[in-house]
Amino acid sequence: MALTKEDIINAVADMSVMEVAELIEAMEEKFGVTAAAAVVAGPGGGEAAVEEEQTEFDLVLTGAGDKKVNVIKAVREITGLGLKEAKGAVDGAPATIKEAMSKDDAEAAKTKLEEAGASVELK
């Protein structure tokens, strides 16, 4: 007679916490997996895990455009760099202007640079 899922669940429900822990350990050994891996794999049996939402962005200047002076001013405002460093970053485009920014800060900085005439992307 084969056990149903319901039979197994009822049997586990009657166990103590220690017995459940031992059962999990025995299953990990038997099947060569960990409980954490089984949870990540999910019911699809190894399909791609849920993609995490990106929380940090890098601001990359891809081009200075025609209004280079305005772009340098915007870079200085966003980064706090001196005039020489900001000019070097703009002249060295494509260049990462600022790393690990929050989504809101990155969007605001991107808008500011685009209004100054630069071409920008978030990574």
pLDDT in tens, 59-114: 888 888 888 899 899 989 988 888 988 888 888 878 888 888 888 888 898 899 89
Q: Which domain holds residue 103?
A: 57-122
What is the pLDDT, as a whole number, of residue 41? Answer: 55
For residue 96, which of 84, 83, 110 has the smallest C-alpha distance?
A: 110
The answer to whether residue 66 sits within a structural domain is yes
> Structure tokens of 68?
């280079």
Q: Distance between CA 100 and CA 63 in Å, rounded?
A: 20
pLDDT band at 46 (very low <50, low <70, confident <90, very high): very low
Name the pTM for this structure: 0.55
Tally of domains within the chain: 1
Q: In this predicted model, what pLDDT tens digit does every residue of 1-17 receive, in sequence order?
A: 688 988 888 888 888 88
- We report the CATH number of the domain holding residue 95 as 3.30.1390.10
Residue 83 lies in a domain: yes
Q: Determine the straight-line distance between the first and last CA of the chain, rounded to whole angstroms.
A: 57
Residue 95 lies in a domain: yes
Return the pLDDT at 51: 57
26 burial level (CB within 10 Å; 0-12, 13-18, 19+): exposed
